[in-house]
Structures are given as C-alpha cells and as structure tokens.
Structure 1
Amino acid sequence: MSIKFRLTVLNFFEFFVFGAWLISLGGYLGGQLQFSGAQIGKIFMTLGIASIVMPAIVGIIADKYINAQKLFGMLHILGAGFLYYLSQVNDYDTFFWIMLGYLMLYMPTIGLANAVSYSILDDNKYDVIKVFPPIRVWGTIGFIVAMWAVDFLEWTQSPYQFYFAAGFSLILGIYSFTLPNVPLSISENKSFTERLGLDAFALFKDYKMAVFFIFSMLLGVVLQISNAWASEFLRSFTESFPDSFAVKRSNILISLSQISETVFILTIPFFLKRFGIKTVMLLSMFAWALRFALFGIGNPEGIGLGFLILSMVIYGMAFDFFNISGSLYVETETSNKYRSSAQGLFILLTNGVGALIGGYTSGLIVDYYTNDGFRDWTTIWLVFAGYALILAILFWLIFKYKHNPDTIKNVTH
C-alpha cells in the first residue's frame, strides 16, 4: 500500500467520523430528544469551547511527549467510547458534558491529521504543497459519504448514528498505529501562548488587521448557525411534507453544501487575484445572507425546493470565500514573525470564539421565535440573514483595503 493511499484513508475516515453525526445532530436533538432551542445551541457551543484550547494543548503533547500518529490513535479510541455512551443519553445535562468531552478529544485530531500527513509525506520526499491537497479532498468526500450512509440507513433520528461513528472512530484509531512514525520535535520551542496564537494579538495594533480579525470572529458565528439548524429546520416539515425528498433525505440535500464547497474552492485563486480579499469576503457575507434568506422562503415542494437547493449551492461560496480566503489573506499580510501565530489566532477566533457565540445566541433566537412548540422558521432565518447582511455593510464601510494582485502569486489549499 502506497504512503499516499494510506494517508488518503486517514483523511477520509477522519472526516467520515465527523460527518456521521454533525449535520444530523440538530434535527436529532430537536426531534428525538425534544431539546429546546437554547439547549441545542448550547450543545453546539461545545464545538467552539473545544476548539479554543485543546488543539494547542494536544499540539504541545504531540511535539514533545507522544508521537503524533499514536496520540491521534489514542484520541480516536477514547472518542469511540464517548460516542458509544452518547448514543444512550437522553437528558440534556449529561448530553452536554459527554459531547464536550468527546469534542475535546476529536477537534485536535483535525490538526493532528494534517501534521501526520505533512510529516510522513516530507519524510518520503514528496512535495507536500503539490501532493497533500488531493489527499485532503478525500476528507470532504468522507464527510459526504458518511452523511449519505446515515441518511440511507435512516439513522438521522436514531442514536445508531453515534454507534456508527463510534465504530469507525475505533477502527481509525487502531489503523493510525500502523502508520509510519512521526518523530517528536527537537528544535521547536514555542510557548503555550504562541501555540494559541495569542502573541499575534500584537497585530491588532494595525487597523486593517484588527478589523479583519474582528469581522472574522463575527462571521465565524454564521457557520455554527448553519451546522446547528439546517437539519432541525428540514425536520420541521415532517408533518406537512412527510414524503418529500427534503424530509426523507435531509442529509443528502444538505450534503449538496459540501459538494458545492469542493467546487468553489477551485475558484478562489481567480477571485482573490482579480478582486482582492475585501470583495471576496463581501461576497461570502452576501452569500451567507442569501443562503439564510432562501431557507426563510424555502419549503420541500415546487419552487420552495428549488430555493432550498440553491441555498445549499450558495453555501460553497459562503464557506470557502471566508474560511479559505481569510486564511490565505493572513498568510500574505503578516510577517514571518507572526505568520504561524496569526493563523492560529484566525482559527481560534472563527472556529472557537465565533462558534461559541453562534451556538449560544442562535439557540436564544430560535427559542424567542418559538410559541407553543411551533417555530417561526421564516422569521428565524430572516433574522440570521439580516445579521449577515449587516456584517457585510459594516465590513464594506470599515475595512480599508487596496488590492494588489501581485501579493497573491501561488494560492494553495
């Protein structure tokens, strides 16, 4: 088995485990467990909490104490136990803490999967920049395949989705011990604050970078809104459109978002070079507003289904034009001294603080527009769309940027 194939398997199942439950979770919590909007939002907060500190802690352990591929395996094996237990939990308090415990284990493995892949490819004399992207795209494919599998098995409203994820997490954990050894770091001595990206806060002295980071955090809110509420929204049509594709195959419908993501990522070099980061991020914000607005007027029948499908397609632009382009902007606009820390800060603010705020506030909004068990989804989605639109207007007015196409010469992902 070639090294590239073995790493492709690693990346495929890394995100397969995630896709097996993440997108269907909101609908499961609202439907099967009957949790309130605030409770669902708080459970999705755990993604943000786990993303703030754990990747840095695990990174230090992988550098200094335990080989990365072994630590990756341990975390997935332990995570399988949490997922197994999660499938048997019905009360909110226990579910919250077990989910938090699981994500404390899982979220750092995303970075570890990259680190393991980079190290092994480098040791085998491969050009990492050229070889890794085709390997990593199989992670997105794995995420989509898992969503489809759970949908076809009709487990979106069943705890079996967690058993399913637990089984593959266990297999992945064991598999990782068969990978070539990743040596411990003997030269890199970053402090804990540097690993968190906190030393990059010095960049806030620059007006342009300060505005960029603040809006990155505020835009990080919207991704969590999408993760948390898309499946629960589609589940709400169960009584009025029980036999519709959107209800019976909600995961497959939502997976169009991930498929779109793989397509739009190919357009990033063109848009960044031609229009610059300000226009690209504005397109992302307007795309988020349009995605949510289409949810607000969509339904599983006729033109309404068309609106839902279009919303999924637009997700690719909304996600990639912010997350990927934003990371590339940080890469080109920061000096070598802060570049790595700035990337860490970007992830901390978007996937950590932004996700935490998004989970909590979206739950409160959903509950505010819920009366006698009925959720006014049209208003809810239009509120979310309004938030994204206001962000776009403020960003356009506040962010000062003059585009220079020569600053982006080689864009990779």
Structure 2
Amino acid sequence: MSPTIRVKLSIMMFLEFFIWGAWFVTLGTYLLQNLKTTGTQVGVAVLTQSIGAIVAPFIIGLIADRFFSAQKILGVLHLAGAFLLWRASTAADFSAFYPSILTYMILYMPTLALVNSISFRQMKNPQKEFAMIRVLGTLGWIIAGVTIGWLNWEQSGNLGLTFEMAAAASALLGAFSFTLPATPPVKKEGRSTVGEMVGLDAIRLLKNRSYLIFFLASIAICVPLSFYYGFTNPFLNEVGMKSAAGIQSLGQVSEVLFMLLIPVFFARLGVKNMLAIGMLAWVIRYVFFAYGNADTNYWMLIAGIVLHGICYDFFFVTGQIYTDNLAGEQSKSAAQGFITLATYGVGMLIGSLISGQIVDAHKLGNELHSWQAIWLIPAAIAGGVLVAFVLLFKDRNSAPQPDEMLYQETTARLEV
C-alpha cells in the first residue's frame, strides 16, 4: 500500500469515528438538559443506532455490494448525513429532533462497513495493515470527546454545537470520500440469495450448542451496555464531573491498550475465560458507578470508565475472533455481520427500550435521579448473564488455538 493511500485511509477512518463520537457520547445529556426530554425518549433516541444496525446489512448487501463503488456511496451518505445533523441541531423539541437523527443513523451505520471494505480492498496483508489504520478511528473518537470537554460545552449548555461540529466533519468526509481509491463492486458468479447478501446464512452456526450460548449471551449483555451508551454522560454531569465527555475518552484509550494485549491474553486464558472476564468487568463497572461520586469515591468513576477496555475488548473482540474461528472460509464475513446484527441490532434495541423507562422510574425531581439504584440494575443483569454463561458454555467445538495447533503438529511429527 502506497504512503498516499495509507494517509487517505487514515484520514477517512479518523473522520468516520470523530463524527460519531462528536455527538453520540453527549446525546443523553443534550436531550435531558436542552430539549427537556424524558429518560424514555433518550432510550428511543439511542435506539436509532440499533435500527441503523439492522438496516445496514440490507443497504450494503443489496445495494453497495452489487451496483455502486463503495467510496461513492460513502461520500453520498456522509453529505446527506451532514445536512441531517445540522437540521437536528436546530430542532426545538424531541418531535422535531427524532426524525432527523433516526434518518441519520440509518444512513450512518452502513458507513461503518463501507470504510472497512474500502480499507481491506487496498491491503495486501489486512492482518498486519488494518490495525494501524483502524486505530485512527479510535483516536478520532477520543479527540472529539476531548474537544467537547476542553470547550466546556456540557457545563455551558452548548451541546447543540456538537451536532454542528459533527455536521462539518461529515461534510468534509463526504467530499473527501470521492478522492479515495476506487472500490467497485466485486463481480460474483451466479446469483446470491437475499439471506446470503445480508449474512443470514451464518445462522447455521447456532447448531453449535457452545456458539448458541455465546450468541444468546451476546444479545443479553448488550442490554446493560445500552445503559452505558445512553446515560453515562448525563450521570457524570449530574454528579458533578467536570469535562465529562473528555474524561470518558479514557475508555477509548483503555480500549486501544487492551486491544494490543488481546493476543497475549487469548493464548493464556482461552475463549471462555476471556468472555467471562469481559462480562465480569461490566458488573464491576456498574457497581463502581453506583457507589462512585465526585468527592471521596471519584476514583470509582474513573475506574468505571477505564474498565471500558476490558468490557469491550475481552467480550466483543474475543467474540469476533471466536466467531471467525467457527465460521467456514466462505462464511466469515456473513458470520461477523450476523453477530453484529444480533448485538448492536437486537440486543441494543431491547436495552434501549427498557433503560430509559428505568431511568424515568428513578427520577427524584429537579432533574435529579437515584443513580445508585439505576446502575445496580444493569450490574445485576450483567451478573445474571455471567453466571448463566459460565455454567452453560462449553468451548468444545471451536477451532484449535495457535498454541494448541503447534502442540498437535509437533506431536504428529514425533509419532511419525
């Protein structure tokens, strides 16, 4: 890959996640403080992410992979997204805000697959090259949060500017996308079914009992995950944390560090232990949030944020590796799309619907909430999922790990 293409892909990835991080982290705070919404309405707004995740495979599988170059679709979607984000920033109430953000997320979620597709098509060795490109996306999310904290938009009541900042970045990426390397549709022999194009053929993996347990646990663990996405920023601002959005970016820093350590932990702990530790981290995080405050237990808030690296990498990244190991060579992409549809689609959808209602049920008045009671609920859900997973999951049918394969190969040679 030439240096010019590497720089272009890095800029693309940086802007892709800067846009998302620029408004999504503080969405709950903006709605509660600026538009005076209920917690249920916040959940409905976060739910747009799940709707977008469910629709995305159809847009990519039925349109992008068949008729148009990926970089051109990316450009059109982000230019349209810029208009929708700008319109969302001018909404006077939730009824005016919601249609814009719903339409935006239906257009944005497919771009997550498009930037990956564009990147992979330019790489000779994606296993070595992709991580260095993808990490720029996490850096973009971090800088978006730091910028919001540095400009003090949360405390000053100017979170509407986050949508304007994201709109500007979306317009920039939209225009820039047309300069990216050409990524035309790959011509395939024969006709593909709708199920194959959207990844539903990967449903055969559920015949494996171990994978079925993992699949159900993935959906269930995304219910408490929706509490974090929708209400962490409002919680931190309510308890008095300054520059909350900026401090929340420590979670992405942690994510990068633990992602680099995944191969080491994976070889020593194995699939089941990695997944269990990831779920345990969710329990600990929410307990820290329940008992943390901006005074003597401030460290609990920071620890809860930093645990994001373990929460995300140990469960979701490990789960993606586990899925890749079990999927056949022809079904790897479909399998990844299927598990994403289940987690960010079905799991987050359920969580978004109930999290807002739980927050509303624990409202104390004067825009305050009983956060301890709120956070103990997702902690209990995550704990229940963890116990069920540990008792039921038996990793007997996964592909051998590298160290196991080396042992088997050595033993076979000795026998010969």
How do 1:152-231 and structure 2 match up within 5 A?
Answer: 152-156=150-154, 157=157, 158-187=159-188, 189-231=191-233
Amino acid of the residue matched to residue 210 of structure 2?
Answer: K
How do 1:27-38 and structure 2 match up within 5 A?
Answer: 27-38=29-40
Indicate the residue corresponding to 2:414 in structure 1. Answer: none
Indicate the residue corresponding to 1:139 in structure 2. Answer: 137
- Could you give the per-residue CA deviations for residues 230-277 of structure 1, whole angstroms, max 9, x where no partner exists? 10101212xxx4xxxx2x210111111111000111221122221211
Q: Distance in 2 between matches of 1:286 and 1:360?
A: 23
Amino acid of the residue matched to residue 187 of structure 2?
Answer: I
Whether contact under 8 Å (2:62, 2:198) holds in the other structure is no
- Could you give the per-residue CA deviations for residues 54-84 of structure 1, whole angstroms, max 9, x where no partner exists? 2332343222211100100000000000000
Whether contact under 8 Å (1:45, 1:356) holds in the other structure is yes
Amino acid of the residue matched to residue 266 of structure 2?
Answer: L
Query: What TM-score, normalized to structure 2?
Result: 0.91
Indicate the residue corresponding to 2:363 in structure 1. Answer: 370
Query: What TM-score, normalized to structure 1?
Result: 0.92
- Could you give the per-residue CA deviations for residues 140-183 of structure 1, whole angstroms, max 9, x where no partner exists? 00110011112212233421110110001001100010112112
Is 2:122 aligned against 1:129? no
**Structure 1 residue 290: deviation in Å?**
0.5
How do 1:231-310 and structure 2 match up within 5 A?
Answer: 231-237=233-239, 241=240, 246=241, 248-302=242-296, 304-310=297-303
Indicate the residue corresponding to 1:324 in structure 2. Answer: 317
Whether contact under 8 Å (2:322, 2:398) holds in the other structure is no
- Could you give the per-residue CA deviations for residues 113-158 of structure 1, whole angstroms, max 9, x where no partner exists? 010111123xxxx322211110110100011001111221223342
Q: Distance in 1 between matches of 2:22 and 2:339?
A: 27
Q: Distance in 2 between matches of 1:2 and 1:408?
A: 35
- Could you give the per-residue CA deviations for residues 189-229 of structure 1, whole angstroms, max 9, x where no partner exists? 53321232222222222211211111111112233221111
How do 1:374-413 and structure 2 match up within 5 A?
Answer: 374-402=368-396, 406-408=400-402
- Could you give the per-residue CA deviations for residues 28-59 of structure 1, whole angstroms, max 9, x where no partner exists? 11111111111101111110011012233234
Indicate the residue corresponding to 1:314 in structure 2. Answer: 307
Q: What is the SS of the residue equivalent to 2:10? A: helix
Amino acid of the residue matched to residue 376 of structure 1?
Answer: S
Indicate the residue corresponding to 1:336 in structure 2. Answer: 329
Q: Distance in 1 between matches of 2:128 and 2:330?
A: 25
Q: What is the SS of the residue equivalent to 2:30? A: helix
Is 2:148 aligned against 1:150? yes
Q: Distance in 2 between matches of 1:10 and 1:32?
A: 31
Whether contact under 8 Å (1:147, 1:252) holds in the other structure is yes
- Could you give the per-residue CA deviations for residues 11-38 of structure 1, whole angstroms, max 9, x where no partner exists? 0111011111111111111111111111
- Could you give the per-residue CA deviations for residues 320-340 of structure 1, whole angstroms, max 9, x where no partner exists? 111110000011122234333
Indicate the residue corresponding to 2:28 in structure 1. Answer: 26
In the alignment, structure 2 segments of 5+ residues that lack a partner are: 405-416
How do 1:34-49 and structure 2 match up within 5 A?
Answer: 34-49=36-51
Q: 1:4 aligns with which of 6, 9, 31?
A: 6
- Could you give the per-residue CA deviations for residues 299-332 of structure 1, whole angstroms, max 9, x where no partner exists? 1123x11111111111110111111100000111
Amino acid of the residue matched to residue 311 of structure 2?
Answer: A
In the alignment, structure 1 segments of 5+ residues that lack a partner are: none
**Structure 1 residue 374: deviation in Å?**
3.2
Whether contact under 8 Å (2:82, 2:171) holds in the other structure is yes
Whether contact under 8 Å (1:7, 1:117) holds in the other structure is yes
Q: What is the SS of the residue equivalent to 1:341? A: helix
Amino acid of the residue matched to residue 389 of structure 1?
Answer: G
Q: Distance in 1 between matches of 2:331 and 2:403?
A: 20
Q: Distance in 2 between matches of 1:408 and 1:92?
A: 52
Whether contact under 8 Å (1:45, 1:359) holds in the other structure is yes
Whether contact under 8 Å (1:50, 1:104) holds in the other structure is yes
Q: Which moved more, 1:149-158 or 1:5-14?
A: 149-158
Indicate the residue corresponding to 2:98 in structure 1. Answer: 96
Q: Distance in 1 between matches of 2:210 and 2:400?
A: 19
Whether contact under 8 Å (2:362, 2:370) holds in the other structure is yes
- Could you give the per-residue CA deviations for residues 335-370 of structure 1, whole angstroms, max 9, x where no partner exists? 234333221111000111111111111111111222
**Structure 1 residue 406: deviation in Å?**
4.1
Indicate the residue corresponding to 1:361 in structure 2. Answer: 354
Indicate the residue corresponding to 2:18 in structure 1. Answer: 16
Q: What is the SS of the residue equivalent to 2:37? A: coil
Paired residue total? 397
Amino acid of the residue matched to residue 161 of structure 2?
Answer: Y
Amino acid of the residue matched to residue 380 of structure 1?
Answer: I
Q: Distance in 1 between matches of 2:398 and 2:181?
A: 43
